[in-house]
Structure 1
């Protein structure tokens, strides 16, 4: 249930209503919009009479029922689009809303200091604001390279110091969360862990923004209910990432990139949505075209894999762009971003550190 207040409702009225509603053993969340203040009610409201709530104050405009199972993630509950702000040395990075698009780029795995520093400098020069890279890698086979672990976190921290880029990196286990949250500016939940509910609750209890990737076969409702776990645990800064789903045809692409999910999500949730065309296709030759489509269809940003030598990458080499290819892709994306009224968000060039 949500309570929409009339424009100009005094703060004292809002506070009094919140106190009274909490007295009914309901949890509340106050959302301040451009015109209205909305009070969301979480709990058992099935026996609550809408008219009774309406009569609490003359400043109440209307009382509405949230029909979606994902209450906090729905636009019924939170009508205005959420903007997740990530502080960096070069100024805040805002993801979502109607502002500029954000690009996250970097290798699948952090392999060495020289590699991650070179990649970080190149992707920043091309316009990326956030460096992606995995110290821990979930792999289908136990014999595949699974990352360098904690030592790779130190290399990510060094790359941030050298370039000023923010860091997004994946947490796979609750035992690693504290160490990862010390380095990461955005904590990533990978596709394999989208329904690891213990992990979702834990990342929801820490303050860093969370990037939640869609699981291989997850429906949109299941994906948003996973986000609901994070939101319900207290963290409002969730970013959704479409990275392709598993369908019947895997001959030509690694996954099926569900671009239709982007406008669907924008209609039903306030959370920012980015697209990962690297995992979505699995082949570098399709990454730029799918990136263009993602920008055109309304994504808030992109996550693209970049490696200085994809042929020698320890993981996911076939889907990585070279730095030169990434330069070209970003230049080509810029015109599409301008055409849809959301230019690419880039850092000040002078902020690239020597």
Structure 2
């Protein structure tokens, strides 16, 4: 028989709690991560960080390196974006999570970020998984849009096997025949993953929805289903965003979401 996956309940029955600076994933508190899909300039980033901080977001997200379908699409500002994120983090006391797309950038990202994100397209990029497994930073691992829950947990094992025990899973929707939304948010995957794995699990409602008008409903559904947090795209100017503007909340909409969560979360025995 094969040994149990490091990410499985067979290996560890109790829930794992993971800290990113002063933010704890997997405890009683719901973690809300917010910010732009991609960093495009300092003014917009700082405006967004200021507003989400006032709305009690726990962490700031922002893309520096972007994996895009077309090579002609905007690929991110790279190290310039990382420096801006680091500045915003210090100004508003928000730990940073940002995506890595190349294993050669681990050292660079470690210099500026507090958590490394593996995007859906790279969930089975084993070289990248092994590289972040050797990193000192916690890892946010997204489920690929064509992957099963078991494959997600196997991908997490690549990271855990290298010695990095700080992995947070992320459900972000899967591709199906349904085309009224960008992806199909797999709500049932939330209790399934929580049953199968001891690792914390958050949900990205923005990529599943593809439409900012659906994000608040999807967010509330994810929390009600048992998610440990949310990863939400927010910016002060979504209509001029270079990437994923249609699914990005305005800062006012984010404030509205947080107000609604402050009612919902205590009702299910959690904290925000």
- Whole-angstrom CA distance in 2 between matches of 1:72 and 1:233: 11
- Whole-angstrom CA distance in 2 between matches of 1:215 and 1:208: 21
What is the aligned partner in structure 2 of residue 54 from structure 1? none
- Whole-angstrom CA distance in 2 between matches of 1:233 and 1:78: 17
What is the aligned partner in structure 2 of residue 118 from structure 1? 47
Is 2:91 the counterpart of 1:162?
yes
1:317-328 matches, cutoff 5 A:
317-328=245-256
Match of 1:94 among 24, 28, 51: 24
RMSD: 1.0
1:293-304 matches, cutoff 5 A:
293-304=221-232
Please say which structure displays the higher CA radius of gyration: 1
- Whole-angstrom CA distance in 2 between matches of 1:193 and 1:218: 11
SS in 2 for 1:257: coil
Is 2:80 the counterpart of 1:151?
yes
Encode CA deviations 1:27-65: one digit per residue, 9 max, x unaligned. xxxxxxxxxxxxxxxxxxx6xxxxxxxxxxxxxxxxxx9
How far off its partner does 1:158 sit?
0.5
- Whole-angstrom CA distance in 2 between matches of 1:195 and 1:184: 22
What is the aligned partner in structure 1 of residue 158 from structure 2? 229
What is the aligned partner in structure 1 of residue 13 from structure 2? 79
What is the aligned partner in structure 1 of residue 267 from structure 2? 339
Runs in 1 of length 4+ with deviation above 6 angstroms?
A: none
SS in 1 for 2:135: coil
Match of 2:234 among 298, 306, 312: 306
How far off its partner does 1:334 sit?
1.2
Contact 2:44 2:237 in 1 (8 A): no
- Whole-angstrom CA distance in 2 between matches of 1:76 and 1:334: 34
- Whole-angstrom CA distance in 1 between matches of 2:188 and 2:40: 34
- Whole-angstrom CA distance in 2 between matches of 1:206 and 1:189: 13
Is 2:188 the counterpart of 1:254?
no
Q: Which runs of 5+ in 1 are unaligned?
A: 1-45, 47-64, 345-354
- Whole-angstrom CA distance in 2 between matches of 1:334 and 1:293: 14
- Whole-angstrom CA distance in 2 between matches of 1:180 and 1:280: 26
Is 2:52 the counterpart of 1:131?
no
Contact 2:106 2:135 in 1 (8 A): no
- Whole-angstrom CA distance in 1 between matches of 2:226 and 2:111: 32
- Whole-angstrom CA distance in 1 between matches of 2:131 and 2:139: 11
More contact order relative to length (CA 8 Å, sep ≥ 6): 2
Is 2:135 the counterpart of 1:201?
no
Q: Which runs of 5+ in 2 are unaligned?
A: none
How far off its partner does 1:161 sit?
1.1
- Whole-angstrom CA distance in 2 between matches of 1:183 and 1:80: 32
How far off its partner does 1:177 sit?
1.2
What is the aligned partner in structure 2 of residue 185 from structure 1? 114
- Whole-angstrom CA distance in 2 between matches of 1:181 and 1:245: 30
- Whole-angstrom CA distance in 1 between matches of 2:192 and 2:152: 13
Match of 1:218 among 137, 147, 165: 147
How far off its partner does 1:204 sit?
0.3
- Whole-angstrom CA distance in 1 between matches of 2:56 and 2:141: 23
How far off its partner does 1:214 sit?
0.6
- Whole-angstrom CA distance in 2 between matches of 1:243 and 1:280: 6
How far off its partner does 1:333 sit?
1.1
TM-score normalised by structure 2 residue count: 0.98
Is 2:211 the counterpart of 1:277?
no
How far off its partner does 1:287 sit?
0.3
